Every structure is written in C-alpha cells, then in structure tokens.
Structure 1
C-alpha cells in the first residue's frame, strides 16, 4: 500500500510517541484506520521517515465518507465538539465503516460549522468552545512571535520582536528578542531555545507563518511546508504541526506566555540593547519556574525537570539555514535581487 502525502503527514505525527513506547503499533493502526503492517512499514523503519511519492495520475479516490455523512451529522448535533477520532471509531466499530481516519477528520472540519449554524451556535461561540488537552513530558512545544514595538527606538532600533517557545507539558518558557523575523533569525531562535531546554521536543506547533508554510491553502487541504523548515525539522528530528485554519486556541500556552513575559519582564522598564532584554528574561526564569501554574496546579520547575528529561538529544552539528530565491536572467545577463542588478556569465 502506498500512502498519499496527506495521510503520510497524519501518520508521521505518531512516530515520536511510538519510539518512546507511549503508544503501540496496534493503537496507531486503530487511530488512523490503516493496516498494522502499513504502520510498521512507515514508522518502524530505521532512519528518518520519508513521504511516499504521489501516484502518477494524481487522482483522488471516491470518498467512502459520503454515504456516512448523515450519520456523522447526527453525532455532531448530539455533541458539537465530538472529536473526529471518536466519530471514526464509532463508525468503524458500530456501522462497518471502512474508510480511514483522515477522511472523517476532513469531513468533520467541513461539517462542524454547518451543524453549529443549524443549532444556533454562532462562529464566535463555537470558537470559544474547546476541550483542554494535555500531553506527556517532552511531547510538544509551541512557538509564537510577539511584537514589542519601539522599546529600543531611543537607540535607533525601529522595532523589536520577541520569539517564544513554551513546553506544553510543564509550560516552561523560553524567550529571546530580535530585530527581524526572517528565516535565519527564526531558526536561530529555535537553536537557542533547544540549548535553553537542553533538548528537542517531539513536536512543535506553529501557526501558518511564512517561515514554516510555503503558501496558504484552503481549510482541509494539505499544507505545503517551507523546504528549509522541513530540512531543519528533519535535522533536529521533530515533527511540524501546523494549526488548522481558524484555530485561535490551538497554541494558547505560548500565546499566554507572550503576555506574561511582556508584563513581568518588559513592563515599566527601559533597555539599551537586545542583550539587556535577553538578560532580563534569563533573570526572571527562576521566578517563573518557582511558581505553581494555575492550570496544572504544580510547580512549573518540577514539571519542567520531567519535560527536559524526556526531550530528544541535540545533534552533534547545527543545521545551516539557507534562504533560496529563484530569479530569471534577462537578455542583458543581469539578475535583479533586493533592488540591485547582478551580472552573470553569458
């Protein structure tokens, strides 16, 4: 069996959990609707997993989910927030459904807003409804940017940004400050975060930033990832989890952390350099780790120790990020880039 790329991306997310023993091949097979041998083929092979090639004709199979659509709709009417995995399990166990989980997931993403409208639930109310999720130590981190404005304008620096990575299990924070959000800076901040935590999480959650996503696509379609993001993730052996469109609560842990750092590190202070801002965050981290988090009611530093122990080790060498651009060569043998013209051999 050859998987289409979209299903392979879904299956790839289970690799880290399988390696740590947190889930079995049979459990992955049940979750994805795939044969156990197929799961073993793509997740148990030594070395990094690679996506399967597309079929030559590129045609998609007829959707098995269509004949079960009324049944799925009735489940959503009974519980609007029912998970696609639960619906898939019930369809398979109770109604003889033979399709895969991904098809159910895509249909649920399409049907949930429609059913919510039938029930009189507005999009705003639906967006505000969610089930809290928890992860095992080392399983996930979330990344986000913060715009800190003109805090260094008096030093001739127009705008400052804050890069944040938060470990989802413990809420242990990392932050550093930059004057750019370009590709090299983005992944350099990752390297600094990995050094801060002492390892690499299994999965990192992003929104659809241009340094991770090559272009925007319609909801439900496979997200094309930036080649450098794929290369970086492969080198450090973590999975990229791009949030679905219109999922504002998908990375609430790190978004909350942006506000916390702004209040506790930056508020009411003046700085003369980026280095001073980084030092202020480093001085505040022990205070944060000594606090009990309001959600899990445990000391952040104690859970952070378990988080750090479960992280994957750093590779021996760093990944060199390169930003690539294609430019046409004119008849005058000149290439335009960055507002300048460069000559090339005839």
Structure 2
C-alpha cells in the first residue's frame, strides 16, 4: 500500500506513517480516534474561563486573553493553543450573544484609486534610537501614494504643526507634485477637536490653510478605523525593518540618507497586491499629481507667553531670551515659531512701528536654553560682591558706647564679658539697630 492509502486507512498523517515504517522497532503508533470522540486538550481545562471573557467582550484579542490567563490565573498554556481555540469559540459565543457574523468579522470594503488621486500620511515612533547623541525622541513621518504604494519617509524630533507640514512639503518635492487628497487619522495637527459619530469634524485652521495653498482635500478617517489607511500603516513597519533595524545612527541626517538609499530598492520590488513593479506604477502616479505652487507655504505657530524675571520666555519646553532693556518682567510677548526659527515680538509696536524683540534658532528636543548674552546687558553681574572669613573685627566707630568698646556688651562682642550696665546695653542696641 502507498503512504497515502495507509494514512487514509489509519487516520494518521503521512509523515507519521513514514516515520514508523522507517523504524519498525519503535513503539506502536497511536490508535485511531473513535468517531465522534475528541481527545482531551490542555486548553479544555481553561475553556470556561476563556468563554467567560468572550461573553464579556466578544472581540477580545487572543494575546489579551493569554496574558490574563497567565497573570490572573497562573495558567501555563501556550499562546498558539489559545489562538486556535478562539477560532471555534468566538463564533459560538457570538451566536449565543445574538451578534451577526458580519459584525463579528469586522470586514471592510476594499477600495482602489486612480493615479494621483490619493495619498495616506501617518506618524511612527522610533523611540530613543538617537539617545546616545542627546536626542531623547525620534519620530518618522510617512506618506504613501495609494495607487502605486510609492513611499516617502523623513525623521524628526517633534510632531508639532510646523514640523508636520514641513514634512508634507518634503514629501511633495520627493514625489514631484501634490495628490488630490490626503488621508489622515484624527491627529491634533489636523483635527481641532473630536466629534460624535456622524457629525462633521472641525479641522485645524493651520491644516485648512496649508491644504488650500497646495490645493488638496483633507480626508479624516472615522475613529478606530485604521483600515482606511492601511497602505501607509504597513509602510511604517516596512521602513522600520529595512532601514532602521540593526543599524546605528549619529544624526537625523544619517537616518534620512539611509531611507533615500533604500527607496530605490523598494521601487524595484513587485508589489503583491497590484502585481506590478512599484517604480513602474509610480511613474503613472507621479504624472497625474498636481504641480507644486511656486512659493512654499510657511507654517508658523503663534503663541502668547509671559517674560520671566530672568528675561527668558518658555515655549515648547525650552527657554528663549529677550532683551532686558526692552521688556519688563511678566510682559506678554508673542512667539512666532517655524520649524527652524523662533522670533519673539512685542504686542505693542515701538516708535518706529517695529515689534521684533529677538530671533533665535529653534531648539532641538526639550529642556534647552537659547540665550543671547547681549540681552542681559545692564543687569547686575555680581562683580562688586565682597566676602570675609569673619576673623577681622571692625574698628569701633566714633561715638560708640564705652561699654561696647570695652567689651562690656553681650549683644555684639564675642567671648566672655563682664556684666554690662543696662544703659550700656541700651546705647549699643540703638547703635546696632
């Protein structure tokens, strides 16, 4: 008989049959299961606990269930066994709860777009990859053209409004144009505040102005629907694995250069979904993009801050100096910040109609102090301070009481003294006061 026939007859796997045929001296193979009788499994011991968790939340993830079994109930069970059990338990519990299969599956409608019609943008958190050079946090900005999956990535130390849209400008220059729409999640640099389901989402005024300048539409996803921008979500992990993993960098510029060197390899790949070379499909995508405007849009943040007694103004967890001769303490000044520069302005113009107080390069990271030493001109430096060891005693002044000069006063003469008269003590007290 062939291995297939033996396996069919015994109910065993062909590999199991082959193993025992090669070594007849080994122990006998397991008996064939009786029809309708299922062997006892390890997961069956904790099946009631898993079912109870599913009844409380039917969409609970397998990793969460496994974690709670280990931590809360001290059950030493393999994660894969829990995952396999959920494949048959979840539909059964959903049926008990009256949940339809469509609601349980969480399916979504697949969509395709025309060339140049859409891009998707997202952030990635790269952690402390540059902590050894004093940069505590690094983020990656990603934009992917939806038609071709052509990627763009750049690395930053901030996620503020100016940095966010400066990354957009770099992406547009990388692609050679602007897509008709860009898909975002509900980030605070795009959405001013959250809204209830079915209600219009108020957009950030800076985002509206930027989109109007570059002539693209803002497409904000519904809450908790990452499937709507899965193309860029996938790209975040790909860049992290192929560009950053296993490498050491000394600066943001090195990280950006590493992506630039890798992107040509990515464009040479055949993408599994559309079955074409990414670079060939990207050519059609780039041709359909809208042209860049002649003048770039400069995103500027504006904030009001008070001047401290040390002539420093706090902004974005950093301190910037202003001239001491132009501002009093607690004066309100306006901060105008771009990605690379911070300018401080008075709220009232001077006699020449000028409001500019100081200009500084924008600090990288948090906790920095950007100070121009000339801003402290006219303030005390402490150069005239005097100190003494306390050994030298001042000579008695003219008109000092005799009891004080002779050491008859205990108020200010150290060491043992004879008893001073009341009048001498009173005269000394009046002099010292």
Instruction: Provide the TM-score with structure 2 as the length reference.
Output: 0.49
In structure 2, C-alpha distance between the alignment counterparts of 1:180 and 1:342, rounded to whole Å? 28
Give the paired residue count. Answer: 224
The structure with the largest helix share of the pair is 1
Say yes or no: does 1:243 pair with 2:242. Answer: no
In structure 2, C-alpha distance between the alignment counterparts of 1:291 and 1:191, rounded to whole Å? 26
Aligned to 1:174: 152
Partner of residue 120 from structure 1, selected from 100, 106, 110: 100
Aligned to 1:287: 265
In structure 1, C-alpha distance between the alignment counterparts of 2:98 and 2:198, rounded to whole Å? 21
Aligned to 1:296: 274
In structure 2, C-alpha distance between the alignment counterparts of 1:219 and 1:155, rounded to whole Å? 44
Aligned to 1:192: 170
In structure 2, C-alpha distance between the alignment counterparts of 1:118 and 1:212, rounded to whole Å? 38
Deviations 1:209-242 (A, max 9, x none): 0000001111111000000000000000000000
Over 3 Å counting, the alpha-carbon distance change for 1:170 and 1:325 in structure 2 is same
In structure 2, C-alpha distance between the alignment counterparts of 1:290 and 1:265, rounded to whole Å? 16
3-state SS, counterpart of residue 162 of structure 1: strand
Aligned to 1:343: 331
Over 3 Å counting, the alpha-carbon distance change for 1:159 and 1:119 in structure 2 is same
In structure 1, C-alpha distance between the alignment counterparts of 2:234 and 2:178, rounded to whole Å? 21
Q: Mind listing any 5+ residue stretches in structure 1 that lack a counterpart?
A: 1-116, 330-335
Aligned to 1:133: 111
Aligned to 1:155: 133
Aligned to 1:65: none
In structure 1, C-alpha distance between the alignment counterparts of 2:101 and 2:128, rounded to whole Å? 41
Deviations 1:279-300 (A, max 9, x none): 0000001100000001001000
TM-superposed deviation, 1:324: 3.2
Which residues of 2 match residues 35-184 of structure 1 at below 5 A? Answer: 119-121=99-101, 125-127=104-106, 129-184=107-162
In structure 1, C-alpha distance between the alignment counterparts of 2:231 and 2:156, rounded to whole Å? 21
In structure 1, C-alpha distance between the alignment counterparts of 2:280 and 2:129, rounded to whole Å? 33
In structure 2, C-alpha distance between the alignment counterparts of 1:175 and 1:221, rounded to whole Å? 32
In structure 2, C-alpha distance between the alignment counterparts of 1:163 and 1:275, rounded to whole Å? 14
Aligned to 2:302: 324
In structure 1, C-alpha distance between the alignment counterparts of 2:169 and 2:203, rounded to whole Å? 19
Aligned to 1:229: 207
TM-superposed deviation, 1:156: 1.0
Aligned to 1:209: 187
In structure 2, C-alpha distance between the alignment counterparts of 1:138 and 1:230, rounded to whole Å? 20
TM-superposed deviation, 1:342: 4.4
Instruction: Provide the TM-score with structure 1 as the length reference.
Output: 0.61
Over 3 Å counting, the alpha-carbon distance change for 1:326 and 1:244 in structure 2 is farther
Backbone CA RMSD of aligned residues: 2.5
Over 3 Å counting, the alpha-carbon distance change for 1:238 and 1:122 in structure 2 is same
Over 3 Å counting, the alpha-carbon distance change for 1:245 and 1:326 in structure 2 is farther
Deviations 1:166-205 (A, max 9, x none): 0000000000000100110000000000000000000000
Aligned to 1:310: 288
TM-superposed deviation, 1:245: 1.5
Structure of higher RCO (CA pairs closer than 8 Å, 6+ residues apart): 1
Partner of residue 254 from structure 2, selected from 244, 257, 276: 276
Aligned to 2:241: 263
3-state SS, counterpart of residue 301 of structure 2: coil
3-state SS, counterpart of residue 282 of structure 1: helix
In structure 1, C-alpha distance between the alignment counterparts of 2:304 and 2:194, rounded to whole Å? 19
TM-superposed deviation, 1:246: 2.2
* Structure exhibiting the larger radius of gyration computed from Cα positions: 2
Q: Mind listing any 5+ residue stretches in structure 2 that lack a counterpart?
A: 1-96, 307-312, 320-328, 333-346, 349-433
